[in-house]
Amino acid sequence: MARILIGVSGGIAAYKTALTVRLLIGAGHAVRVIQTPNSHRFVGPETFAGLTGAPVLSGEFDADPMRGAYPGEAAADRAPIAHLALAQRAELYLIAPASANTIAKLAHGLADNLLTAAALAADCPLLVAPAMNDRMYTHAATQDNLALLRSRGTHTIGPDSGDLASHGEHGIGRMSEPDELAAACERLLTAAQGRPSPGVGQQPRAGAEGPASGPDWHGIRVLVTAGGTREPIDPVRYIGNRSSGRMGLALAAAAARRGAEVTVVAANVSLPAPAGVRVVTVQTAAELLDACETLFDAADVLLMAAAVADFRPRAAAADKLKKDAGPPHLELEPTTDVLGTLSARRRPGQVLVGFAAETGQRAVAYGRSKLERKRLDAIVINDVGADGIGFDSADNEVTIVTADGTERKLARAGKDLIAEGVIAGIDELMSHGGREGGVGAGPYRTTGI
């Protein structure tokens, strides 16, 4: 299994980290822990040492009796520099809890303690689990720091809403639960090492090497739609939605890291595109359909993450409608079903994944219906009515349903991490040639994506 380094900063949520360590060790991973001195006030190093069977380090000049080794390994012949050895040998670095202070240091490259120094030295994926008071979390400085970390490739998970450390306080800032943290670690390790996702139970495609960014997708052509279409009412106004395109760009970045040839059809997206990704910009549903029809036949995978308007004004006004003329009468007509149109002309071996932004208790049921109507391989469903996830948010929480009815929920996390979970499952769908078969090692077979 994997070598996992865990950094613990000062916060009452550190007790959840101890439970997370137990879960990861139970899954067969070798774990080392480093703590900030302030974190000792909440959970002592003796607790983590007892759980891991390895000494806990807190200072950059602490002697490591295991000389940088992880449990189950032989110690090195000489004593290495602690923050370099543990970080360089780790396959995943989880910082939980990550306080507002620690997040600020990470964002700006400070290395004034062992935890932050290890973050600069680590070559492996970095997963940060924020935990703090709701006012600290929602402060513009913290949000900017998290955005900066994500832009550099750092993964985040949570926080959740709930009871906070201060008695009687409730809000967002509660660290994700141990099972969610452990599952997020597994998804990142799956992506980084090319192992099957938990629950999939199948091996990667024949010939996949599994580089640092995940299974090798070189030669795979991926078409992603992102953002939200805008249907003009007049030259100034439009009918649209709040989709920012973050989820689509995160999916494009995850596919590109695996070596895929990625094209994004971006509808009104103002965010920067991932490196190495081709972008085609559109505005309306009709323009998005035209672009997708041009690109679809050459694609091996379609990720339809864009929020496409269902209706548009039958005729847009040539001039700006004036307020003093009173409320205009808008006659709407349906737009063309982009995903349904593409699905009807799919070739054998293509993998089609839809996205359903729903609200309410029947969100998953509506998503299942969409999957069947449009003959998709999988559909990713998220409840955009929930606070802090979905449209124009850095986080998401989704349920993924495959064509055989298999259902899997990805707990709330940064959209980059959700994208890794989705992409890891798509790799398995590709190995069986999609719903229509034709390029895989056997007949189509869905999995726990």
Peptide bond into 159 cis (omega under 30): yes
> Could you report the per-residue pLDDT of 349-395, keeping only the tens digit for each?
899 999 998 887 788 888 889 999 999 999 999 877 777 676 767 78
With a cut of 50, which residues of the chain have pLDDT below it? 195-213, 438-449
Whole-number pLDDT of residue 130: 93
Angstrom distances, CA of residue 195 to CA of 120, 200, 267, 305, 423:
26, 10, 34, 25, 12
Q: Which DSSP string corresponds to 170-189?
A: EEEEEPPPHHHHHHHHHHHH
> What does the H/E/C string look like for 109-153?
CCCCCHHHHHHHHCCCCEEEEECCCHHHHHCHHHHHHHHHHHHCC
Do the Cβ atoms of 288 and 306 come closer than 8 Å?
yes
d(CA 89, CA 66): 13
Q: What pairs with residue 160 in β-bridges?
A: 174
Cβ count within 10 A of residue 60: 18
- Active-site residue flag, 241: yes
- 158 Ramachandran zone, left/alpha/beta (phi>0; psi -120 to 50): left
pLDDT value, residue 392 = 65
pLDDT of amino acid 436: 58
The pTM assigned to this predicted structure is 0.60
DSSP characters for 278-337?
A: EEEEE-SHHHHHHHHHHHHTT-SEEEE-SB--SEEESS--SSPPPGGG-S--PPEEEPP-
The H-assigned helical ranges of 27-77 are 45-52
d(CA 75, CA 73): 6
Q: Name 152's Cβ contacts closer than 8 Å, sequence gap at least 6.
A: none
Contact 262, 277 (CB under 8 A): yes
C-alpha pair distances (Å), 426 with each of 17, 125, 263, 296: 30, 20, 17, 17
The answer to whether 257 touches 220, Cβ cutoff 8 Å, is no
List the Cα angle 213/218/221 in 5-degree steps.
110
Please report the pLDDT score of residue 209 as a whole number.
Answer: 28
Which one of the listed residues 113, 241, 268, 382 is annotated catalytic?
Answer: 241
Structure confidence at residue 206 (pLDDT): 27
Q: Which structural domains are found in the chain, ordered by start? A: 3-191 (3.40.50.1950), 212-431 (3.40.50.10300)
DSSP line for 223-292? EEEEEB--EESSSS-EE-----SHHHHHHHHHHHHTT-EEEEEEES--SPPPTT-EEEEE-SHHHHHHHH
SS3 content of the chain, % helix, strand, coil (to 5): 30, 20, 45
